[in-house]
Amino acid sequence: MINVLIADDHNVFAEGISSLLSDTENISVVASCFNTADVRDMLIKTRPQVILLDISMPKVEDGMKLCDHILQHHPEIKIIILTMHDDLSIVKRVLKKGAHGFLLKNTTKAELLDAIAHVSQGQAYINDYIQKQMEDHQHKTRKHAAGTGVELNLTPREKEVLFLISEGYTTQQIADKLFVTTKAVEFHRSSLLVKFDVPNTALLIKTAMEANFL
């Protein structure tokens, strides 16, 4: 029996998924949670093998932090992201963190069951549409790089700053962590914006992920 926990702040959707899985012989829905606090509590109480996690609870960053918490404190639990977001930067981010599966909310019951079966056996599962998007993007990126002959080079410090920015650290926190001044961090941030040719931090993170720097 595979014990599954559903984590989604849309009650109706969570209940719908629970109902969808209720008549499956080898799957038991042990809990449906609608906020991050309940998820953390029920992970301890129910010990599920698989969690279906909406990355937006209620914000993407909340889902990311919850994903980090599960991977750190419950590494035995397999995470399937079940979301409406098909932004490749988000997909790459959660997969790089260590999520085991990625499905869109328009998934079928057959695909959902297939994904649960795969991850419970230690295998990765990515929605076919998302997989194709990733492959197409990778192909375009390689084609563009080959056509322009341009290679983006980052210094080791810029890579460190970029990673910490992507993790949500403030300028002061980055400075403290790297033992440098806030002025130095701002210099590296500005340099990154210029190198990636983007106007703000949000686009910096997105572009860096799409280019496989994160």
Q: Which residue has the higher pLDDT, 93 or 10?
A: 10
Assigned token pair, 176: 């403290």
Q: Show which of 128, 153, 174 is a domain's final residue.
A: 128
CATH code where residue 150 lies: 1.10.10.10
Note whether 48 and 103 are same-domain residues: yes
Domain that holds residue 21: 2-128
Question: For 45-54, 78-87, 136-145, 194-203, which range has the lowest pLDDT when averaged over its residues?
Answer: 136-145
Quote the crossing angle between the two packed helices 60-73 and 88-97, to the nearest 10°.
20
What is the C-alpha separation between 214 and 116, in angstroms, rounded?
A: 27
Q: Give the rounded percent of residues in the chain with a pLDDT score beyond 70.
A: 93
Mean pLDDT of 65-91: 92
Q: Show which of 78, 94, 128 is a domain's final residue.
A: 128
Cβ–Cβ under 8 Å, residues 173 and 185: no
Note whether 124 and 149 are same-domain residues: no
Mean pLDDT of 72-82: 96
| 138 within domain boundaries | no
Assigned token pair, 98: 């260590």
Cα atoms in the Cβ-side hemisphere of radius 13 Å centred on 146: 6
Global pTM? 0.71
> What pLDDT was estimated at residue 151?
56
Cα atoms in the Cβ-side hemisphere of radius 13 Å centred on 207: 15
pLDDT at residue 87 above 90?
A: no
Residue 214 burial (CB count, 10 A):
20
Mean pLDDT of 28-49: 95
Q: Is 83 exposed, middle or buried (0-12, 13-18, 19+ CB in 10 A)?
A: buried
> Could you report the per-residue pLDDT of 154-188, keeping only the tens digit for each?
889 999 999 999 999 999 999 999 999 999 999 99
- How many domains, the chain? 2
Task: Tell me how many helices (H) and strands (E) the chain has.
Answer: 10, 6
> Could you report the per-residue pLDDT of 130-158, keeping only the tens digit for each?
988 888 766 665 554 444 444 578 889 99
> What pLDDT was estimated at residue 140?
65
Assigned token pair, 139: 């192909």
